[in-house]
Structure 1
Amino acid sequence: MPHCIVEYSQNLDQEVPPADWLETVKKACLASGIFAESDVKLRGFPYKNFMTAGKEDAFVHVTIRMLSGRPVEQKRALAQQVLEALTQFSLVDVSYTVEVCEMERDTYARKVILS
């Protein structure tokens, strides 16, 4: 049940539609074999103001927040799979990063209200 947060520099909107970033991350998460499609939650956030080393360098950063307890090898493989999927767009002068973070099972609360 990962929460996938895709942050990116807004100047990339001209190159890749925001929905494509989300779809790419979702497909990579599903290809990992760790998650069911119904469990993957995605959000995208463009940043109008950004700097790296004093310059406006394009970036895409994906944070995958998942419940604790998985082996580090599995998390490392997931991060690498998402990173490789992002590079399919063949953009230049862009920095891609992926981070897998754990949400503590003991303190995570969830409630779904259906109609």
Structure 2
Amino acid sequence: MPHCIIEYSNEIDKSVEPAQLINAVYQGALKSGLFKDEDIKTRSIAFDSYQAGSIKKAFVHVTVKILSGRNIEQKKTLSNLILSQLKTIDFPSTLVTVEVVEIEKESYARVMM
């Protein structure tokens, strides 16, 4: 943990490499001090089709899934550090958002195959 999922509008690909997004989110999560390097999993998904109101505007939205047990200050720090790292990227007019979502430890399952 965490699973960092970056969703973004595909027009961002014209000016920003997906690897830049992935690295910025990874660096923010690492700087939080909440996770070990090898536990941070980051991936991105570009969207061709989307609508947010009547004006089509570029977006980046990061969902950070973490196991339950962190307090609100830790979660706020995490989202702010990720947002801070993303702000270092020169996006065209883009709405950038970050949310932290808890996964119940009791229902989470994993296996290495």
Question: What TM-score, normalized by structure 2, do the two folds share?
Answer: 0.96
Aligned residue in 2 for 1:58:
58
Aligned residue in 1 for 2:69:
69
Name structure 1 gaps, 5 residues minimum.
Answer: none
Moved over 6 A (4+): none
Q: Secondary structure at the match of 1:109?
A: coil
RMSD of Structure 2 on Structure 1 (CA): 0.8
Aligned residue in 1 for 2:31:
31
Q: Percent identity?
A: 40
CA distance in 2, matches of 1:46, 1:105: 29
Number of matched pairs: 113
Question: What TM-score, normalized by structure 1, do the two folds share?
Answer: 0.95
Q: Secondary structure at the match of 2:53?
A: coil
Show CA shifts across 1:49-90 (max 9, x none).
122211210000000000001111000110011011111113
Q: Is the 8 A contact 1:50 1:57 kept in 2?
A: no
Name structure 2 gaps, 5 residues minimum.
Answer: none
Q: Is the 8 A contact 2:4 2:43 kept in 1?
A: yes
CA distance in 2, matches of 1:95, 1:110: 33
